[in-house]
Amino acid sequence: MALIAPSILSANFANLERDFDLLNQSACDYIHIDVMDGHYVNNLTFGPPVISHLRPLTKKPFDVHLMIDRPERSLKAYKEAGADFLTVHTDATIHLHRTIQEIKEMGLKAGVALNPAQSPEEIRYILRDLDLVLLMSVNPGFGGQSFVPQVLDKIKELKDIRTQGNYSFKIEVDGGVKLDNAKEVLNAGADILVAGSAVFNAPDPLKRIQEFKDIQ
């Protein structure tokens, strides 16, 4: 069964508590939290103070996607705020291997994100250390963009690499995932689907999460 991580980027920032109530009632597996710094991406969202206020609202794991420059400077703050998964972009940190080790040494799950133009080849030598590889299926920065179809081949390639290397990381696909392409994304080899606008812009977000969970 697909693991579903609704992205609160499309939630109502003026009423996150209400949206967390909804997520608590849902069958979602993780809560995807998009941190944007206005540098690595143009958009700006929130950081550790907001996440730490969200933490008591739910028991669901926080899947924190850092779209920030030099994430190594603030890993500890995200751990203290309540992150369970911490995912960094390869091109935002100078010593990626060290950053991953630091995340793991703090006892968190470590993820690396690849943008649409990047190849899994770039992270070959750290794959054994990862709990998660996040494949961006839009360019990072905004919700509601269209799925980049070439990512389907990348998912398959990464899944083959995982099988050959006997690695254990999960494959997460983030951006433009909708009910009508989710099956294809899962068939290609994704384990976790991130869905922002598809969930929060749906007339009934709770029902929409269940529809994602029910995909066979």
Which residue, 93 or 197, is less far from ligand DX5 as judged by CB? 197
Report the residue from 65, 89, 109, 154 that binds Zn ion according to the rule CB under 5 A: 65
d(CA 91, CA 96): 8
Residue 87 near which of ligand DX5, Zn ion, none (CB within 5-8 Å, type-dependent): none
Whether the Cβ atoms of residue 109 and residue 85 lie closer than 8 Å to each other:
yes
Catalytic site residues?
34, 174
Find the residue with minimal CB distance to ligand DX5.
196
The contact pattern for Zn ion, residues 149-188, with x = CB under 5 A and - = no contact, is: -------------------------x--------------
**Closest C-alpha to 180, from 148, 151, 212:** 212
- Kindly state the number of chain residues that form the binding site for Zn ion, as judged by CB under 5 A: 3
Binding residue numbers for substrate? 7, 65, 141-144, 174-176, 196-197
- The vertex-86 CA angle with 137 and 163, nearest 5°, equals 60
**Closest C-alpha to 195, from 46, 1, 10:** 10
Binding residue numbers for a divalent metal cation? 32, 34, 65, 174
Residue 176 near which of Zn ion, ligand DX5, none (CB within 5-8 Å, type-dependent): ligand DX5
d(CA 89, CA 4): 21
Choose the binding region for Zn ion from 13-21, 33-41, 56-64, 89-97 (rule: CB under 5 A).
Answer: 33-41
Tell me the C-alpha to C-alpha distance, in Å, between residue 206 and each of 8, 56, 117, 209, 212.
14, 21, 33, 5, 10
Binding residue numbers? 7, 32, 34, 65, 141-144, 174-176, 196-197
First to last CA, the chain: 7
Residues that bind ligand DX5 (CB under 6 A): 7, 9-10, 32, 34, 65, 138, 140-141, 143-145, 174-177, 194-198
Whether the Cβ atoms of residue 135 and residue 176 lie closer than 8 Å to each other:
no
Question: Which stretches of the chain bind Zn ion, using CB under 5 A?
Answer: 34, 65, 174
